[in-house]
Amino acid sequence: MSRRQLLHHRVRRAELHAAQRLRGCGAEADSGDYLKEIIPAFFIHHKMNARRLRQVVHNLPSEDGKRQGGASGLNQSELHARINSWVASASANQIRQLPGILTQTGAT
């Protein structure tokens, strides 16, 4: 299974799980918050070289719609930290854009 297929499978499974959890609470199903829990682990367990991680970090959407900057001098642990901080502050809509970003950068 390719990385893209694996990510798509995990995102879909997370969406279904989140929908079931939220349905039980009577809330609207929004999987973005649940995806925030699994995305950092995805980047840790699915190794990408530093160049690809820099491209991903550079393309992550920000609140003002601009791209992230300053990723060129970062090593892998710093790039992972940048991704984790983005995940913590990103909206559910921004989180849902991540599979497209991975495809766009060739990380899948």
pTM score > 0.75 for this model? no
Radius of gyration of the chain (CA): 14
Nearest to 80 by CA among 25, 108, 88: 88
Question: Which pLDDT belongs to residue 29?
Answer: 43
The share of the chain scoring above pLDDT 70, in percent, equals 78
Question: Which pLDDT belongs to residue 26?
Answer: 46
Residue 28 pLDDT grade (very low, low, confident, very high; cuts 50, 70, 90)? very low
Average pLDDT over residues 15-31: 58
Higher pLDDT, 66 or 46: 46
Q: Say whether pLDDT at 102 is over 50.
A: yes
User: What is the DSSP code string of the chain?
Assistant: --HHHHHHHHHHHHHHHHHHHHHHHT----THHHHHHHHHHHHHHS---HHHHHHHHHH-B-TTSPBP---TT--HHHHHHHHHHHHHH--HHHHHTHHHHHHHHT--
Q: Say whether pLDDT at 6 is over 60.
A: yes
Q: Say whether pLDDT at 72 is over 50.
A: yes
Q: Say whether pLDDT at 97 is over 70.
A: yes
